[in-house]
Amino acid sequence: SIANLIGNPGSIRSKIRRRTGTRTVKRLHPDRYNLGYMTQMTPLSAQQDTLLARTLWRIEAELYGPLTLGSPAAVEGVSPFHLCRAFLLRLGRSPMAYVKARRLSEAALALQSTNSKVIEIAFTAGYESHEGFSRSFRKYFGHAPSAVRANPDLVLNLQEALTMDTTKPPAL
């Protein structure tokens, strides 16, 4: 139909609910629905800031456990879509992208400072295989885990733990 060709905003919202994250938004309409579209919504209220502070605390407390988007949302009594949208507005990335960045950053620190096997660090970081961990590590940092182990002075863009005192809204 003609609505599918020009893009129906109602269907876009439902697709965003099913597939959260900025990549999904850019894939739908790269020139019209990008991260700028998501950040042009109303500013976060104090209640939403409290929600994000509790969510960040919960993520850090359960960083190495099995964590899904639904678990912090259910505890807070909001939908996963609402939590993801508030996270995107405030931090510029989805909650699960933040979790992945934190886990990989902690793994990079472990590679630089310990003699643990790469597979043990991969399992600790929540990966089920060495290959999946190496692929994600290389994609995020641009270096293989073995290169980080071999050169501990390598400068990496690590994701530090965030608190609501240190977060700033993304630049528009």
Give percent of the chain with pLDDT exceeding 90.
Answer: 28
| DSSP assignment letter at 141 | H
57-94 per-position pLDDT tens digit: 888 888 888 888 888 888 888 888 988 988 888 888 88
134-156 per-position pLDDT tens digit: 999 999 999 999 999 988 888 88
- pLDDT of 168 over the 70 cut: no
29-33, 101-105, 117-121: range with lowest mean pLDDT:
29-33
Query: What residue spans of the chain are helical by DSSP H?
Result: 2-6, 9-18, 22-28, 35-39, 46-61, 70-76, 80-91, 95-113, 118-124, 130-141, 145-150
Q: Please give the C-alpha separations between residue 60 and each of 64, 71, 163, in angstroms, as whole numbers.
A: 9, 13, 10
Quickly state the pLDDT bin for 16 (edges 50, 70, 90): very low
pLDDT at 55: 87
CA-CA-CA-CA torsion sign (44, 20, 140, 134): positive
pLDDT at 25: 36
d(CA 59, CA 81): 17
pLDDT at 42: 44
- pLDDT of 114 over the 50 cut: yes
Quickly state the pLDDT bin for 34 (edges 50, 70, 90): very low
- pLDDT of 29 over the 80 cut: no
| Mean of all residue pLDDT scores within the chain | 74
